[in-house]
């Protein structure tokens, strides 16, 4: 088994890899944004070209103003993404299974009659599901 020291080394190594990954991503994003700006917007609209640092600043401004991307979706999105649809809750914070049971109970008690009344009112034949001759 792993010792306490091994677990600490693993966690610190994981953190260092995460930080390095973020730094590499920022460097690459800066160059990509600079390239795209200079090739498209500067050429099409006769705007000035931008430097690497200006492109990074532009990226940060866009993130602050618009919050575009996975970092802006919040904890609820991440929960749904990692735990699947079966754990979703509705606006009343009831699990999906309770909503399904509630719907089944409604359908058994009054839903089918209400549905048939709606179909009859709108001229749909309950037998074949096609509009009737009115």
Q: How many residues can be counted in the chain? A: 134
Q: Which residue has the higher pLDDT, 38 or 77?
A: 38
pLDDT in the model for residue 119: 83
- For 16-75, the pLDDT digits (tens) are 999 999 999 999 999 999 999 999 999 999 999 999 999 999 998 988 888 766 555 555
> Domain extents for the chain?
7-71, 73-124
Q: Mapping DSSP to helix (H, G, I), strand (E, B) and coil, where does residue 83 land?
A: helix
Q: Mapping DSSP to helix (H, G, I), strand (E, B) and coil, where does residue 75 land?
A: helix
Tell me, yes or no, if the pTM score tops 0.75.
no
Cα–Cα distance for residue pair 94/124, rounded to 1 Å: 35
pLDDT in the model for residue 82: 59
């Amino acid at each position: 088994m792993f010792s306490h020291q091994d677990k600490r080394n693993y966690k610190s190594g994981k953190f260092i890899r995460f930080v390095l990954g973020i730094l590499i991503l920022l460097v690459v994003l800066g160059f990509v944004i600079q390239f795209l700006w200079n090739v498209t917007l500067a050429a099409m609209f006769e705007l000035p070209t931008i430097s690497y640092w200006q492109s990074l600043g532009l990226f940060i401004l866009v993130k602050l103003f618009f919050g575009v991307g996975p970092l802006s979706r919040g904890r609820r999105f991440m929960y749904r993404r990692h735990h699947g649809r079966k754990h979703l809750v509705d606006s009343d914070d009831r699990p999906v299974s309770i909503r399904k049971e509630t719907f089944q109970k409604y359908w058994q008690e009054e839903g089918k009659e209400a549905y048939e009344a709606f179909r009859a009112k709108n001229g749909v034949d309950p037998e074949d599901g096609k509009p009737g001759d009115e």
